[in-house]
Amino acid sequence: MGSKQSAEKPIESQSIITHSQQHYSTNTNEQTRQDNWPPLPSFCPVGPCFYQDINVDIPLEFQKIVRMLYYLWMFHVLMLMLNILGGLGMFIALADGATFGLAIVYFALFTPFSYVCWFRPIYKAFRSDSSFNFMVFFFVFSFQLIVSIINAIGIPSMGSCGVLNGLMSINYEGVSPKVVGAIVLLIASGWIVLALLDFVTITKVHRIYRSTGASFAKAQAEFSQGVMRNEHVQTATANAASAVIRNQMNQATSGGANSASPRF
């Protein structure tokens, strides 16, 4: 009986050692992972800001939808670039500098913001099954869908080469305005397709989100846990608690001193 127990102990200790080694190697791999996105050349003074590898981070059943979201983000960037070209044509043919200037501003702002504000949250949501990141994606991407619809409409002097700007350009006299109008209408068709893809995408992601058992209550719990794990929040909480304790001790000390003092 004693020999059997002694034979089982080495097996248990070996399994514990093996598990700890695997855990250590996993942590080491996570710590040694270097940021690889955006893929900038080595001579660039600014390096990559994020680590992105769909084959490594994303579970196999969700890799297809995450790749589709990444390609959708690249489609957004392409449309913003085409929007600048259309705005340049309107500036040359129609002296419309507002559309051209705002198109440049939109490209400079929306390219990084769309990646950080809705693609990274959905990437992290599928990577770690995070309800909070799903909520962030739905909130931000809803505005992205509205922006795509507005760009497809193309309100004059609003910085988007949409349907209204294209029709307005065609109505001008001359050949160059009509050519620019045709180009703007082609860009507007791209915005229409992009808006439809945005709607289909958010619907599909919401269907997957509901199938995973995620909920708003789970998102709130993840948010509160993340806040409490934050070092700055922990430091501020500890400082506030220590200040309250010191205040109470000072009040108790001053109260004791006042009671001990003689009354005349």
What is the pTM for the complete model shown?
0.73
Higher pLDDT, 252 or 237: 252
Specify the pLDDT at position 12. Answer: 43
The answer to whether residues 195 and 145 touch, using CB atoms and an 8 Å cutoff, is yes
Residue 181 has pLDDT above 80, yes or no: yes
Residue 199 phi, psi (nearest 5): -65, -45
Specify the pLDDT at position 242. Answer: 66
What's the rounded Cα separation, in Å, for the pair 148 and 202? 13
Residue type, 224: S
Q: Mean pLDDT for the chain? A: 81
Ramachandran assignment for 180, one of left (phi > 0), alpha (psi -120 to 50 degrees), beta (any other): alpha
Q: Which of 36-40, 120-124, 240-244, 255-259 comes out lowest in average pLDDT?
A: 255-259
Residue 89 has pLDDT above 80, yes or no: yes
Gap between the terminal Cα atoms of the chain: 84
Specify the pLDDT at position 27. Answer: 45
The answer to whether residues 168 and 178 touch, using CB atoms and an 8 Å cutoff, is no
What's the rounded Cα separation, in Å, for the pair 148 and 160? 10
Peptide bond into 10 cis (omega under 30): no
**pLDDT tens digits, residue range 32-64?**
678 889 888 888 888 889 999 999 999 999 999
Residues 6+ apart with CB under 8 A from 89: 179, 180, 183, 184
Please list, residue by residue across 11-41, b when 16 or more beta carbons sit within 10 angstroms of its beta carbon and e when fewer do: eeeeeeeeeeeeeeeeeeeeeeeeeeeeeee
What's the rounded Cα separation, in Å, for the pair 166 and 12? 74
Specify the pLDDT at position 15. Answer: 41
What's the rounded Cα separation, in Å, for the pair 56 and 126? 12
CA 160 to chain centre: 24
The answer to whether residues 160 and 103 touch, using CB atoms and an 8 Å cutoff, is yes
What share of the chain in percent tops pLDDT 70? 70
Of 11, 203, 217, the closest CA to residue 132 belongs to: 217
